[in-house]
Chain A
């Protein structure tokens, strides 16, 4: 196994199993469900299939954890005041708005 590009019979078997066994979905199909899963929009049956895939697929489990962390990091970064313009609004901007309103 190198850099996650696992090859050989085990990976081939996994692919066949996900593709052909009942109540299984491929990783590509899993990918298309992620947003609906996170927004709690999946019907119960699809949710169960999604959860089962998560249990048996290390790659998708890792991927989803990193995806969730990405969203958290994005939100948290923008909570930082440095991500915004400085708190002090230039007085001339305020005056310009008020002057333009009068015209």
Chain B
């Protein structure tokens, strides 16, 4: 399933000769081209893996496996997308496989963090005399760390969808295929994840907590 996704990645934009030369070299077995590919891409791949796995060691394992996987498959890479897009999909897929293998994709309840409504289906929401600006919230490192830890509190099956859609910026269809769930399920999980995160971040958003 993921194979087809990788082959049908978005059309390549601004394909350059240098990238083609790099891929051709790797396919031909050139050690120097392989090293160039690794050195060019391993940094951001490791960051993607870390965002999903939240562990340095696991992220390193993931990137190593993703790159070896890429080397094995690069001969069949159809170049309809940029190399970076293709490697991104492989990295995400490898991280998801790791999470599944570790059984970390648990189904924790998210209901306590969902919005509340009264008996007439009217929203129960305390007034917001003040909504802090994005800049105000993220300007301090300690607060950014708090936001990261709140995202980490989301149940994995919601956190992963939030990460893939909002942070990795994958399309709904791509996320559905990677996670082997329906597109409508992706949308439901994304909305619930954002709602839950809003609840978790409320003191920050109201400018009350530092």
Contacts and interface: CB of A to CB of B under 8 A. Distances in A.
Nearest to A85: B50
Contacts of B64: 93, 96-97, 100
A71 B126 contact: no
A1 B124 CA distance: 11
Contact of A5 (B47, B124, B190): B124
A59 B198 CA distance: 14
11 contacts: A15-B122, A35-B191, A58-B127, A70-B194, A73-B134, A74-B147, A77-B138, A83-B148, A96-B64, A98-B31, A101-B34
B29 to A, nearest CB: 10
B205 interface: yes
B166 A75 contact: yes
B39 interface: yes
Given A35-B191, A69-B134, A82 B141 contact: yes
Interface string B194-209: 1101100110110000
Nearest to A13: B120
A97 B68 contact: yes
Given A74-B151, A83-B144, A94 B42 contact: yes
B56 A85 contact: yes
Contact of A62 (B42, B127, B190, B191): B127
B66 to A, nearest CB: 9
A74 B46 contact: no
A18 B117 CA distance: 13
B125 interface: yes
B126 A82 contact: no
Contacts of B198: 63, 66-67, 70
Interface in A3-31: 3-5, 11-12, 14-16, 18-19, 26-31
B122 A14 contact: yes
Q: How large is the interface on A (under 10, 10 to 19, 20 to 34, 35 or more residues)?
A: 35 or more
B160 interface: no
A52 B123 CA distance: 16
A55 interface: no
The 8 closest A-B pairs by CB, nearest first: A15-B120, A4-B126, A84-B47, A26-B121, A27-B123, A28-B121, A59-B125, A59-B123
A14 B117 CA distance: 13
A3 B126 contact: yes
A61 to B, nearest CB: 9
Interface in B92-121: 115, 117-121
B43 interface: yes
B34 A98 contact: yes
A63 to B, nearest CB: 5
B115 to A, nearest CB: 6
